[in-house]
Amino acid sequence: MRVLVVEDEPRMAALIRQGLEEDDYAVDEVDNGPEVFDWVESAAYDLIVLDIMLPGIDGLTVCRELRARHHTMPILMLTARDAISDRVAGLDAGADDYLVKPFAIEELTARLRALARREGPSKTTQLQVGDLVLDTATKRARRGDRSIEPLTSKEYILLETLMRHSNQVLARDQIIDHVWNMEFESGSKLIEVYISSLRKKIDAGQDHKLIQTVRGLGYRISADE
């Protein structure tokens, strides 16, 4: 999952970024309102964390404008004061949830997981493809009764992305969009490297290979042969 964090206070932005990266999100940061519109056009963000008090254009206006432009990703607003009027204004502007500063980073990540679940087909924390089950809360995967050795952060994000789009072929660019942030170097072989390491953990020794290469198009995870 890829998140855009919109926050102008550098320390707060760094704290959020670190917390989200530890929770296996690909994170980009922007420190003002107007630039948000460029960023959402250039990458497929799964979630946005949006501070209300921002230079340029405030968060409420940014939120309203994103919705007017038909961006439907979940938006979590950060408000400085626990004022009912702020929270109501945020929700009315099209935000899906809000958090009052100061907050515990664990609460932010838990709320983002809840928002992601709301978007997906499953309301549980589990994603399933065939006998492969990935728990998005514990980050652990199993195939049938066999638990899979712990996934690295990037392996986890890649597997989660494939599973959220199961049975669909994802092109390299689509995978990059959801798994890496703007620091990704185009032309690198990182995707191939991570697909290969995921296969070792998920499919090695299994009769039925779930991670499939669709020649010339990309990758897919599917229980179908």
Judged by CB under 5 A, which of 23, 24, 29, 51 binds Ca ion? 51
Contact between 53 and Ca ion by CB under 5 A: the answer reads yes
Using alpha carbons, select from 90, 67, 68 the residue that is nearest to residue 77. Answer: 90
Instruction: Provide the minimum distance between the beta carbon of 35 and Ca ion in the complex, in angstroms, as a whole number.
Output: 14
The residue at minimum Cβ distance from Ca ion is 53
How many CB atoms neighbour CB 157 within 10 A?
Answer: 22
Instruction: Provide the minimum distance between the beta carbon of 154 and Ca ion in the complex, in angstroms, as a whole number.
Output: 30
Structural contact between residues 24 and 139, judged by C-beta atoms closer than 8 angstroms:
yes
Instruction: Provide the minimum distance between the beta carbon of 80 and Ca ion in the complex, in angstroms, as a whole number.
Output: 7
Size of the site for Ca ion (CB under 5 A): 3
Instruction: Provide the minimum distance between the beta carbon of 15 and Ca ion in the complex, in angstroms, as a whole number.
Output: 13
Conformation bin of residue 174: beta by default, left when phi > 0, alpha when psi is -120 to 50:
alpha
Structural contact between residues 28 and 183, judged by C-beta atoms closer than 8 angstroms:
no
Beta carbon nearer to Ca ion, 50 or 127: 50
Beta carbon nearer to Ca ion, 108 or 151: 108
The tokens for 122 are 């499953």
Distance CA 13, CA 34 (A): 17
Structural contact between residues 162 and 196, judged by C-beta atoms closer than 8 angstroms:
no
Binding mask 3-42 for Ca ion (x = CB under 5 A): -----x----------------------------------
The contact set with Ca ion (CB under 5 A) reads 8, 51, 53
